[in-house]
């Protein structure tokens, strides 16, 4: 499988990587080294304690001041409203649509709340699963599924919050879903293998989610004046945990496609991701795919 | 289902019948939303601390193990701690304390720490009031209350489905993971990543099959695309008195907040 | 004329497997039918075809002399109910009463009628006390009973059950079968129960159909069906243990049994009558 288009994919990733590196270099120049080192130490210490990364994705109740909490609600609202309309329309043609979205939401809930042990980091952390969900059910439906999962987490697990719900929908639902969805579509159009496209979709949607969370926190905590320094600091604080978790997220998305291609191609056909199921027994094996 | 899975959710305790669980969900919801806004606006630590202790105290009063309450607070506390340090590092001019780390000495600033303490207070007060709501109100009552607020039926249906099937899928994911572990599926980086990918893959495969099976079963019971969410029952006299009590409590907090400002 | 008639039903999977290969059945009202099959024998496929989840062709299904294909979905739901094997497939609502009321509401009944049906259905399966509980707080046996209540609330004339006792402990199993027996005898519901539990089935059912590889190989009363070990082994099943024991006693030890007993009670009274008086020391014979 693959061929030349695949090298384009690799090239694209190099470009993105280079961009990230230059961004990091820029940040390093801008911030006082002392503070930066302190932030890094702090985040590494938290990584060691194992609790911070598991909860870094969700902004806790009460952290964002009222104007920012309200602003993120307003930003998220149109996406949720459009998502509900789309859901209403689709469930008329396809009555199984509502149960499906509900269950995808349950899966997003589990992936983004159950700490998964990462052998390398020696800690518990979790990805978001929204990039993958968006590939499967589309970005707007994912916004709905995420809004539901986040509400249940906020209410019953004290994980995230009601006042920060809008901000969390924005970062995990909207940014996570759309970035994953578009990266996947783009790479598939470039004829990258499905597992590879899903891997990059997973990685980039995770990193995009964290960047947005950092942005929301920086605006909320630092205000507009304090924003640049705060944003850089939080972004850097996230790096030691979020780089590996993003890759984990990529493996989750790739693992999904590897599993589906080899064992349940019928589902991918139903979703309209592939046209025809490969002959039974001739699916791409997991080893080939990953 | 194993007990620990059931206890994951706060509303495990809301199934009991006591003075707080019988209050209409709408009354509690409005009160908690008002308190949350107050928490975000308030700049007084005493107000925040009293909100926290009032919520947690009420929960302990109706017999919820304090350990469970504290367990819920642990994660937000951690985030509050991080915020506190970040604020101390970035804001202000008056050095309060100097951190010595990796050969660097970094000052923590007084103004930042003060702001950090305020935010940490908000996190604790806000989270406590949400725990108060969720440990006394089961999800289906919250659904009814949201229905009363004219939230879309489709969205509520998705919420109901998600809530129900979280328990099913947690068990599923847990047993897949356990069997992977027993066969050494998480030893070493590559094996671990592969097992993890398979776990997510099978979880989503299960999502599809379950959605299909559930839909079949619903069709046999006449499903036509509509999920009925029950409307809340009419408010009783006890709900009204609870409402009056909550309102006066809220007004006292509000007055104190203005007085101290 | 029988109430449910299945004629020459064939269902072929996409890969060419003949899951149903010319099924013929007819079931009268108020009968308690056991559908015995080993795993993969086609019983779930047959049940799903009868309730119209699969379009099986060729062949026809008649319910009360009306072809299934002509029935409206809602009328079909009133005529036949299917209880799935896995309670998770069926219980989707957050509380017991919400789930049980789902069906009646779809029938367009008033709130009062819905409430009445929920109450009766839960009463029938002994779950009325748990009506406000969330589904995930119920034990597996209780979930199974709520599933049955959810279907009963539709007041179907035939109740199909797919492996109702699978995964239950002996006590819940006996409890569930007792409830089904009561439904059949007292409420007059026709019951078709797919299972491979040969030991308990003779206690309850009037007739048995044995399915193997998509065909009905034997049918009749429990006595005719369980008449010999060979026949049951051919369909990958076995005799009830007690019947097997008596069969060995009959053939290997030449004890004079004219008819093979299917239940403990029958076997005991027969054995006691064969024993010399001096070793039989007591115990009332019913």
> Is the N-terminal amide bond of A80 cis, ω within 30° of 0?
no
The DSSP letter of residue A169 is I
pLDDT at A175 over 90: yes
Give chains near A: 3+ CB pairs under 8 A. B
| DSSP three-state, residue C56 | coil
Other chains touching C, judged by 3 or more CB pairs under 8 Å: B
The whole-number pLDDT of residue A124 equals 39
| pLDDT confidence band for A57 (50 / 70 / 90) | low
A101 touches chain B (CB under 8 A): yes
Looking at A104-108, B73-77, B134-138, which range is the least confident one?
B73-77
Q: Do B162 and A103 touch (CB under 8 A)?
A: yes
Cβ burial of A208 (10 Å; 0-12, 13-18, 19+) is: buried
**How far apart are the C-alpha atoms of C279 and C30, rounded to whole Å?**
44
Model pLDDT, residue C282:
58
CB contact B125 to A (< 8 Å) = yes
d(CA C27, CA B153): 41
C-beta of residue C62 within 8 angstroms of C-beta of residue C236: no
Contact yes or no for C33/C207 (Cβ under 8 A): yes
Q: At residue A3, does pLDDT exceed 60?
A: no
**Can you name the residues that pair with B97 across neighbouring β-strands?**
B108
Domains of chain A: 4-254 (1.10.1760.20)
Q: Suggest the residue from A56, A60, A112 to mutate for an interface test with chain B (most B CBs closer than 10 A).
A: A60
Give the pLDDT of residue A50: 39
What is the pLDDT, as a whole number, of residue A246? 87
Q: Which run of H or E residues covers position A123?
A: strand A123-125
Give me the sign of the Cα torsion angle B184, B190, B192, B198: negative
Quick one: pLDDT at residue B9?
74
Considering only CB atoms, A136 lies closest to which of B125, B159, B204, namely: B204
Per the model's pLDDT, the better-predicted residue between A280 and A223 turns out to be: A223
Q: What confidence score (pLDDT) does residue B100 get?
A: 66
Give the tens place of pLDDT for each residue, A240-260: 777 888 888 898 899 889 888
Which pLDDT value is given to residue A73? Answer: 96
Q: What is the pLDDT of residue B101?
A: 60
Do the Cβ atoms of B167 and C136 come within 8 Å? yes
Better pLDDT: A175 or C271? A175
Exposed/middle/buried for C59, CB within 10 Å: 0-12, 13-18, 19+?
A: middle
Numbered ranges of CATH 3.40.50.300 in chain C: 29-56+68-230
pLDDT, residue A54, reads: 41
pLDDT greater than 60 at residue A22: no
Distances (CA, A) of C190 to A109, C59, C90, C159, C183: 42, 23, 21, 6, 9
From the list C48, C98, C136, which residue is nearest B6 (CB)?
C136
What is the chain A residue with the closest CA to B70?
A: A158
ipTM for the assembly: 0.91
B108 sits in which H/E element:
strand B104-109
Q: What is the CATH number of domain C29-56+68-230?
A: 3.40.50.300
pLDDT tier, A122 (very low <50, low <70, confident <90, very high otherwise): very low
Quickly state the pLDDT bin for B103 (edges 50, 70, 90): low
How much is the pLDDT for C281? Answer: 58
CA B89 to chain centre: 29
Condensed to tens digits (0 to 9), the pLDDT of residues B33-72 reads 999 999 999 988 999 999 999 999 999 999 888 888 887 8
Q: From the CA of B259, how many Å to the nearest CA of chain A?
A: 21
In this prediction, what percent of chain A has a pLDDT beyond 70? 71
Q: Which residue of C has its CA nearest to B226?
A: C106
B199/A267 Cβ within 8 A: no
Task: List the 181-220 stretch of A: residues with Cβ below 8 A of B.
Answer: none
Q: Which pLDDT value is given to residue C283?
A: 58
pLDDT tens digits along C71-106: 888 888 888 999 999 999 999 988 899 999 999 999
**Residues C103/C77, Cβ–Cβ less than 8 Å:** yes
Provide the 3-class DSSP secondary structure of residue C219: strand
Q: State the Cα–Cα distance between residues C87 and C98, nearest whole angstrom.
A: 15
B4-36 pLDDT tens trace: 444 567 777 888 888 888 899 999 999 999 999
Torsion of CA C25, C28, C33, C36, to 10 degrees: 0
- Residues A230-235: contacts with CB within 8 Å, 24+ apart? A230/B86, A230/B90, A232/A27, A232/A30, A232/A31, A233/A31, A233/A35, A233/A36, A233/A39, A233/B86, A233/B89, A233/B90, A234/B86, A235/A27, A235/A211
Better-predicted residue by pLDDT, A180 or C15? A180
A121-130, B112-121, C104-113: least confident range: A121-130
In the predicted model, what is the mean pLDDT of chain A?
A: 75
Low-confidence ranges of chain C (pLDDT < 70): 1, 56, 277-286
Nearest C-alpha neighbor of C160 from the set C237, C90, C251: C90
Please say if the pLDDT value at position A125 is more than 80: no
């Amino acid at each position: 499988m693959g061929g030349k288009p695949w090298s384009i994919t690799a090239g694209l990733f190099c470009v993105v990587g280079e961009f990230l590196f230059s961004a990091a270099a820029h940040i390093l120049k801008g911030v006082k080294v002392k503070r930066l080192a302190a932030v890094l130490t702090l985040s590494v210490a938290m990584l060691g304690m194992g609790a911070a990364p598991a909860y870094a994705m969700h902004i806790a109740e009460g952290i964002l001041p009222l104007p920012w909490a309200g602003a993120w609600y307003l930003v998220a609202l149109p996406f949720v409203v459009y998502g509900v309309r789309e859901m209403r329309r689709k469930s008329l043609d396809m009555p199984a649509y509502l149960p499906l979205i509900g269950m995808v939401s349950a899966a997003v809930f589990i992936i983004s709340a159950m700490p998964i042990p990462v052998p390398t980091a020696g800690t518990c952390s979790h990805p978001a699963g929204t990039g993958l969900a968006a590939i499967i059910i589309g970005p707007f439906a994912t916004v709905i599924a995420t809004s539901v999962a986040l509400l249940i987490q906020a209410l019953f697990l004290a994980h995230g919050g009601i006042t920060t719900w809008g901000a969390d929908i924005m970062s995990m639902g909207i940014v996570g879903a759309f970035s994953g969805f578009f990266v996947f579509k783009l790479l598939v159009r470039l004829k990258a293998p499905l597992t590879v496209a899903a891997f990059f979709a997973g990685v980039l949607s995770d990193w995009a989610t964290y960047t947005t969370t950092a942005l929301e926190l920086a605006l909320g905590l630092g205000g507009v004046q304090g924003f640049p320094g705060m944003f850089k600091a939080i972004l850097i604080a996230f790096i030691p945990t979020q780089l590996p978790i993003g890759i984990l997220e990529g493996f989750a998305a790739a693992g999904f496609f590897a599993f589906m291609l080899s064992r349940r191609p019928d589902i991918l056909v139903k979703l309209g991701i592939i046209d025809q199921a490969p002959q039974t027994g001739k699916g791409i094996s997991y080893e080939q795919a990953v | 289902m194993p007990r620990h899975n059931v206890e994951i959710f706060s509303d495990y305790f809301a199934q009991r019948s006591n003075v707080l669980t019988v209050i209409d969900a709408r009354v509690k919801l409005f009160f908690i939303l008002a308190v949350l806004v107050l928490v975000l606006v308030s700049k007084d630590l005493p107000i925040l601390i009293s909100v926290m202790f009032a919520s947690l105290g009420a929960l302990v009063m109706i017999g919820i193990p304090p350990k469970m309450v504290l367990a819920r607070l642990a994660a937000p506390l951690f985030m509050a701690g991080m915020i506190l340090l970040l604020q101390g590092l970035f804001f202000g001019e008056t050095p309060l304390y100097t951190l010595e780390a990796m050969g660097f000495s970094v000052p923590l600033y007084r103004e930042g720490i003060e702001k950090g303490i305020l935010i940490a207070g908000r996190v604790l007060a806000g989270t406590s009031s949400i725990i108060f709501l969720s440990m006394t109100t089961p999800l289906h009552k919250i659904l009814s209350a949201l229905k009363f607020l004219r939230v879309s039926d489709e969205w509520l249906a998705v919420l109901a489905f998600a809530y129900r099937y979280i328990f099913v899928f947690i068990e599923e994911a847990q047993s897949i993971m356990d069997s992977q572990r027993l066969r050494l599926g998480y030893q070493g980086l590559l094996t671990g990543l592969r097992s993890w990918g398979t776990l997510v893959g099978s979880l989503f495969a299960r999502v599809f099959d379950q959605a299909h099976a559930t839909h079949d079963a619903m069709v046999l019971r006449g499903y036509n695309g509509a999920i009925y969410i029950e409307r809340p029952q009419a408010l009783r006299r006890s709900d009204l008195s609870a409402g009056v009590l909550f309102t006066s409590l809220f007004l006292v907090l509000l007055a104190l907040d203005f007085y101290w400002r | 004329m029988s109430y449910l008639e299945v004629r020459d039903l064939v269902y072929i999977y996409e890969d060419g497997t003949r899951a149903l290969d010319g099924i013929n059945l007819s079931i009268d009202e108020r009968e308690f039918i056991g559908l015995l099959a080993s795993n993969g024998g086609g019983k779930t496929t047959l049940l799903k075809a009868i309730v119209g989840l699969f379009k099986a062709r060729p062949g026809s299904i008649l319910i009360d002399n009306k072809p299934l294909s002509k029935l409206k979905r809602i009328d079909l739901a009133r005529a036949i109910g299917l209880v799935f094997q896995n309670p998770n497939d069926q219980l989707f609502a957050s509380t017991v009463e919400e789930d049980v009321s789902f069906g009646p509401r779809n029938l367009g009944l008033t709130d009062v009628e819905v409430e009445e049906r929920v109450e009766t259905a839960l009463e029938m399966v002994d779950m009325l006390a748990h009506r406000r509980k969330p589904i995930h707080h119920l034990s597996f046996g209780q979930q199974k009973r709520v599933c049955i209540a959810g279907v009963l609330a539709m007041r179907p004339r035939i109740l199909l059950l797919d492996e109702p006792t699978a995964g239950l402990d002996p006590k819940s199993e006996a409890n569930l079968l007792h409830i089904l027996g009561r439904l059949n005898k007292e409420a007059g519901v026709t019951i078709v129960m797919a299972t491979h539990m040969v030991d308990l089935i003779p206690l309850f059912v009037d007739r048995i159909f044995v399915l193997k590889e998509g065909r009905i190989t034997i049918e009749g009363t429990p006595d005719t069906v369980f008449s010999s070990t060979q026949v049951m082994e051919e369909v990958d099943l076995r005799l009830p243990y007690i019947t097997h024991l008596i069969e060995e006693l009959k053939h290997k030890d030449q004890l004079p049994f004219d008819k093979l007993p299917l239940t403990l009670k029958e076997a005991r009274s027969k054995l006691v009558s064969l024993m010399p008086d001096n070793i039989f020391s007591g115990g009332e014979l019913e």
